[in-house]
């Protein structure tokens, strides 16, 4: 497990060589964690070369009420990913509401990720308002 420095920065760059991988943060009044449990990257070939990937990334997240999840890409040629959870409110972004369990499973799908791009999955702690990130790439 990699644990963020309480009171310090919560962003880092880590190369992952297969799941499971967990990043946790503990701050005053809040505690959250974010983990990738599996990744599937399917290459799509055009004229014998990889044109893009279809991505399916799953994981778990936990956090206090008000915590929310997000997913993004950095390359404008990739499509925006979608993220859904199995037990938090799935609106514009998944958010933990009163009555939801602290921990949820999440799934990110993106049907067009260009080579070299990275999926960023983020968890915003509902108490500390500090983010935790994990990164997925083929």
On the 0-12 / 13-18 / 19+ scale of CB atoms within 10 A, 52 is buried
- What pTM was estimated for this model as a whole? 0.78
**pLDDT value of residue 124:** 96
| pLDDT tens-place string over residues 60-94 | 999 999 999 999 999 999 999 999 999 999 988 99
For residues 108-124, average pLDDT: 96
Domains of the chain (ranges; CATH) run 30-136 (2.60.40.10)
pLDDT digits (tens, 9 = 90+) for 13-39: 444 444 454 444 444 445 899 999 999
Provide the pairing of β-strand 68-73 with 49-62: unpaired
> pLDDT > 90: what percent of the chain?
75
Q: Calculate the CA dihedral of residues 53, 58, 63, 66 and round it to 10 degrees.
A: 60
């Amino acid at each position: 497990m990699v644990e963020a420095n309480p009171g310090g920065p919560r962003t880092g760059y880590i190369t992952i060589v297969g799941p499971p991988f967990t990043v946790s943060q503990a701050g005053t009044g809040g505690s959250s964690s974010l983990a990738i449990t599996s990744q599937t990257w399917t290459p799509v070939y055009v004229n014998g070369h990889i044109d893009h990937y279809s991505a399916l990334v799953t994981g778990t997240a936990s956090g206090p009420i008000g915590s929310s999840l997000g997913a993004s890409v950095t390359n404008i040629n990739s499509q925006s990913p979608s993220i859904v959870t199995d037990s938090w409110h799935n609106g514009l972004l998944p958010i933990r509401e009163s009555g939801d369990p602290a921990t949820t499973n999440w799934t990110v799908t993106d049907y067009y990720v260009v080579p070299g791009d990275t999926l960023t999955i983020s968890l915003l702690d509902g108490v500390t308002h500090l983010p935790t990130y994990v990164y997925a790439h083929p």
